[in-house]
Structure 1
Amino acid sequence: MSCNGAATRFACAAAILIVPWLACPANARPLTLRTALQHALAASPRLTAAERDIGIASGQRIQAGKLINPELSYEQDNSFGSGPYRGTRSAETTLQISQLFELFGKREARIAVGTAGVETATIQRKAVRLEVLSETAIAFLTVLGTQRRIQILDDQISAIDKLSPLLQKRVDTGASSPAEVGRAEVASALVKADRERVRSSLASARRELSVLMGDAAPKFASVSGKLEALGRPPSFQSVIHAIDQNPQLVRWTAVYAQRNAELLVARLKPYPDVRISAGWRHFNETGSDGVRLGISVPIPIFDQNQGNILSAQENLAKVRAERQANRNTLIVIAGRAYDSLQGSLRELAILRTSAIPKARAAAEEISEGYGQGRYSLLEVLDAQANLTQAQLREQEAQQNFHVAVATIEGLVGNPFTLARESAR
């Protein structure tokens, strides 16, 4: 799976629409999800570390297949003694080479351990890559949602400020108390204070996204996308089924093979290897030469590697429990995200079909009636606040929906198909 292909699928799954801003400078162009994912994959130190793990495992695999080096030895007997053995006149010198031959498939077992280690590291890199994509998508959606939150508050401030001329006119004509001017100013100031708090959250979210993309500080002006596009997810059972293909779980197959090969290595170690040697011996006293041949085999009486065999057996038996624990964790995370996704859809249905349309209609009616003297300023401000709160709830639910989608897609390994609904 290519980096560009995966980034594109995540962009589509999160319902982010890419907008071309070719006429703008690069740093002023709104950041799209596709670009953010591409930068994150290129800059992630975790992904680089995972690639180095593959290199480490590959080196261990190469080393496991190497033959044992031969040994060269030199011996000198019957020299530097007393009597006829004074000096080196009666010395016997031996030059010998020996080689240990591993038997019973020990080298092949070591190679199997190394091969499984490479496979484990390779699959783990895929898992890290999915995590980087999911985390970046969530960070992007957080920035996008926070931007929308500020926009909603800006609209409320603008609506309150538009009352000022009408309010002053009513005060001048004696239709309203001068205190209502201060009440409107207080209402506007409180919303502005909320906006500053959200701006602080936006700064943190932008910085987090930038760090994931490899930058210490944001180099983008804003992010571009739509949160309105939603869809119906597949059943939770299909999500659970897809989780079994997550690299975090698939890698346990390679881990099992590695542990099994390690157990075989431990079991084969007590079986003796054969060391064969051949040498040349020179007798100084007679000036004659001879060939020396030797063979040695260790006797496994005291140490039969029982401790290492037991340890390897326990490590092998532990794999099943580790995989199940890993799977349970992924199911819990997916379940939380799926419940959040479903809850967001139900919440949005209520907000869009009832709360927001009625709040908007009430705000428009009361604002119009205020100019005719049928409503008080307090009723106008209350109606505007209700509309703003409904819109903020909608934004939060939309963001929660897409964050849940990104979380689940990071767990199942591939974007799942949503039955898309048109944005309302």
Structure 2
Amino acid sequence: MLFRYATRLACAAALLVGSSLTGVAHSQTLTMGAALQRALATSPRLTAAERDVGIARGQRIQSGALINPEISYDLDDSFGSGAYRGTRSAESALQISQMFELWGKRDARIAAGQAGLDTAAIERQAVRLEVLSEAAIAFLNVLGLQRRIEILDEQVDAIDKLTPLLQRRVDAGASSIAETGRAEVASALVKADRERTKASLATARRELAILIGDTAPKFSAVSGRLDSIGRPPSFQAVVTAIDANPQLVRWQAIYAQRNAQLILARLKPYPDVNLSVGWRRYNETGDNAVRLAVSVPIPLFDQNQGNILSAQESLAKTAAERKANRNTLIVLAGRAYDTLQGSLRELAILRETGIPKARDASAAIFEGYGQGRYSLLEVLDAQASVAQARLREQEAQQNFHVAVATIEGLVGNPFALARGSAR
């Protein structure tokens, strides 16, 4: 059921449909698919996560290494005095020793190393998901600000179109010259808003460029649509999907790693056996003999109790840490889901009533202004109402898609992000 709804979300994300690009020049537009691909290819966080996997792989290999044997040479009863002068009465021994791990210590160490490798691999998946979500949100911010500037440009054009009509009314004595100044002020205020938005767009473009591996934007614009909206799944379906998030899946590997460390701590007091075999030479008689030795440490004073307790608490801590992590993800998903639902309700009101009524009223007032039935202030207010309704629509659309991208970054199956090339 969730994936059926997920398909709808993916269709909503098809708002960003465009051909995938592996590189973009300054004169080209950037699509969502190209942005996601480049973010994955250039992300230093993802590179660092891959190095962590390599580090864990090395530790896993090392965990299975056998203990090296030791070779020793002893020379006794030499370089003394009297009969022990020089090496005439010396006894020499060449010996090789090998420590044998018992009680499954090596297996536990290997299990801990493998769990560490599994954890690093899952962490990499989590970082990949975060990189995709961050790049998608940055792309949507640029796309939304571009659209906002377009709306402000249209508002300025609408005000400027009043100038000829206003001038004719002034010439005919139907309007005061002060109304010309009022129109200029209205146009200037909108232009000021546009300049502020352009500054925000410059910042958003730079942030997106950094996420895709550039220090400055090398794209002229981003392409996509914000007006395509889909129906989301239920929040319970989202919560269920969160359990597949790599951030939560990794706790299984962490639990296995900590459990293996606890086993190692418990096994450490159990002694290992050190076997030695050597060859002894008696120079005084010219005789030779084999030397055998067995040594076993006595765990009399150190029972490793402190490390065992620490490992037990670390293992017991795992469940609480996973629950806290899951609660955090649910809170973040809840905020995004509420934003998504609120945006849908806001868009419904704006599209069904707000924008159509505002446009109808503006057209009627503009026509009546030419006939002298309305004042310039009423015309400007009507146009401003249309512009504000459209800006609210753009903001709601952007909020909706940012919320979708946020949720996609929190669930283990990134519905649309995994298929970014289709956008």
TM-score tier after normalising by the smaller chain length: over 0.9
Partner of 1:16: 15
Identity rate of aligned residues, in percent?
Answer: 75
Partner of 1:236: 235
CA distance in 2, matches of 1:21, 1:358: 39
After superposition, give the CA deviation of every residue in 1:92-134 in whole Å (9 maximum; x if it has no partner). 1111110000001111110000000111111111111111111
How many equivalent residue pairs? Answer: 408
Partner of 1:189: 188
1:60 aligns with 2:51: no
1:298 aligns with 2:297: yes
What SS does the aligned partner of 2:281 have? strand
The one-letter amino acid of 2:73's match is: Y
The one-letter amino acid of 2:131's match is: V
- 5+ unaligned residues in a row in structure 2: which ranges? 1-6, 417-423
1:386 aligns with 2:385: yes
Task: Report the CA distance between 1:88 and its aligned residue.
Answer: 1.4
After superposition, give the CA deviation of every residue in 1:2-41 in whole Å (9 maximum; x if it has no partner). xxxxxx999755232434699xx84322211011000000
RMSD value, Cα: 1.7
Whether the 8 Å contact between 1:334 and 1:408 is mirrored in structure 2 is yes
CA distance in 2, matches of 1:50, 1:221: 31
CA distance in 2, matches of 1:15, 1:403: 13
What SS does the aligned partner of 2:206 have? helix
Partner of 1:30: 29
What SS does the aligned partner of 2:214 have? coil
CA distance in 1, matches of 2:412, 2:322: 17
CA distance in 1, matches of 2:230, 2:17: 18
Whether the 8 Å contact between 2:141 and 2:204 is mirrored in structure 1 is yes
Partner of 1:421: none
Whether the 8 Å contact between 2:90 and 2:282 is mirrored in structure 1 is yes
Task: Report the CA distance between 1:168 and its aligned residue.
Answer: 1.1
Task: Report the CA distance between 1:290 and its aligned residue.
Answer: 1.2
After superposition, give the CA deviation of every residue in 1:318-370 in whole Å (9 maximum; x if it has no partner). 00000000000000000000000000011111111111101111111111111
Partner of 2:86: 87
Whether the 8 Å contact between 2:8 and 2:231 is mirrored in structure 1 is no
Whether the 8 Å contact between 2:17 and 2:225 is mirrored in structure 1 is no
The one-letter amino acid of 2:46's match is: L
The one-letter amino acid of 2:67's match is: I
Q: Which has the higher contact order (CA 8 A, sep 6+)?
A: 2
Task: Report the CA distance between 1:84 and its aligned residue.
Answer: 1.1
Relative to structure 1, the CA distance from residue 21 to residue 136 in structure 2 (aligned partners, 3 Å threshold; closer, same or farther) is closer
Partner of 2:160: 161
Whether the 8 Å contact between 1:338 and 1:404 is mirrored in structure 2 is yes
Relative to structure 1, the CA distance from residue 247 to residue 28 in structure 2 (aligned partners, 3 Å threshold; closer, same or farther) is same
CA distance in 1, matches of 2:8, 2:387: 33
CA distance in 2, matches of 1:338, 1:319: 28
Aligned pairs (5 A) from 1:250-329:
250-329=249-328
Task: Report the CA distance between 1:83 and its aligned residue.
Answer: 1.8
What SS does the aligned partner of 2:15 have? coil
What SS does the aligned partner of 2:221 have? coil
CA distance in 2, matches of 1:176, 1:256: 80
Relative to structure 1, the CA distance from residue 206 to residue 120 in structure 2 (aligned partners, 3 Å threshold; closer, same or farther) is same
Task: Report the CA distance between 1:231 and its aligned residue.
Answer: 1.5
TM-score with structure 1 length normalisation? 0.94
What SS does the aligned partner of 2:184 have? helix
CA distance in 1, matches of 2:386, 2:193: 16
CA distance in 2, matches of 1:350, 1:13: 19
CA distance in 2, matches of 1:365, 1:312: 77
What SS does the aligned partner of 2:279 have? strand
CA distance in 2, matches of 1:15, 1:341: 16
